[in-house]
Amino acid sequence: MQKKVIDEAKIEEAVHMILEAIGEDPEREGLQNTPKRVARMYREIFAGMNSNPREFLQVSFTEFHDELVLVKDIPLYSMCEHHLLPFYGKAHVAYIPRGGKVVGISKLTRVAEAYAMRPQLQERLTSQIADCINDSLKPFGVAVVIEAEHMCMTMRGVRKPGALTVTSAVRGIFETRPETRAEVFSLINQKI
């Protein structure tokens, strides 16, 4: 994977121009360092541009477990590529291991986080996580559900705070066996 350079100087220049364009004075005390702060923030929140989430799944452990593994309520933060405003919520990631190999559960959260730290669409993000796990681990099945609130719908446009967008991606046995899909969705919705 070729590393993408995050050009902080260019971001600073762009933010300076945006501040001028909205009628602000970029030199006033409260805004003087805003372009630098935004550039550093973008380097941090878009760090997924320079990561290969498949690398997280390269280390597995021998464990003959061919039943559902579900990590629920993974906090998720991303930036909508349409308005560069955040969307946030939680991801639920499930897989059914095959061949006596399991992966550390923290690695599933790292995959979700790495894909989220890019300009995104929720629909694409959901599929990318599912495809990465499916292609890397070759499990019996993968299911990913994301529930998120989009600030582009809360702060602007229709202005509907609290509205959640729910997306799902199922692969393998979750796609072909309705009872297996129903089991994982039931567990995701179950309150403990």
Annotated binding-site residues for Zn(2+) read 80, 83, 152
Structure tokens at 5: 């350079």
CB 139 within 8 Å of CB 172: yes
Specify whether 83 is catalytic.
Answer: yes
Structure tokens at 89: 């919520």
Specify whether 92 is catalytic.
Answer: no
Q: At what angle do helices 34-45 and 8-21 cross, to 10 degrees?
A: 130
Specify whether 128 is catalytic.
Answer: no
The catalytic residue among 16, 92, 128, 150 is: 150
Specify whether 2 is catalytic.
Answer: no
The catalytic residue among 55, 83, 149, 183 is: 83
Specify whether 82 is catalytic.
Answer: yes
DSSP annotation of 67 reads S
Cα–Cα distance for residue pair 123/12, rounded to 1 Å? 30
Specify whether 122 is catalytic.
Answer: yes
The catalytic residue among 12, 16, 80, 120 is: 80
Binding-site residues: 80, 83, 152
The catalytic residue among 55, 149, 152, 183 is: 152
CB 134 within 8 Å of CB 171: yes
For 67, 100, 179, the CA distances from 140, given in Å and listed in that order, are: 9, 11, 14
Structure tokens at 127: 């599929």
CB 90 within 8 Å of CB 74: yes
Cα–Cα distance for residue pair 106/86, rounded to 1 Å? 24
**Residues carrying an active site annotation:** 80-83, 122, 150, 152
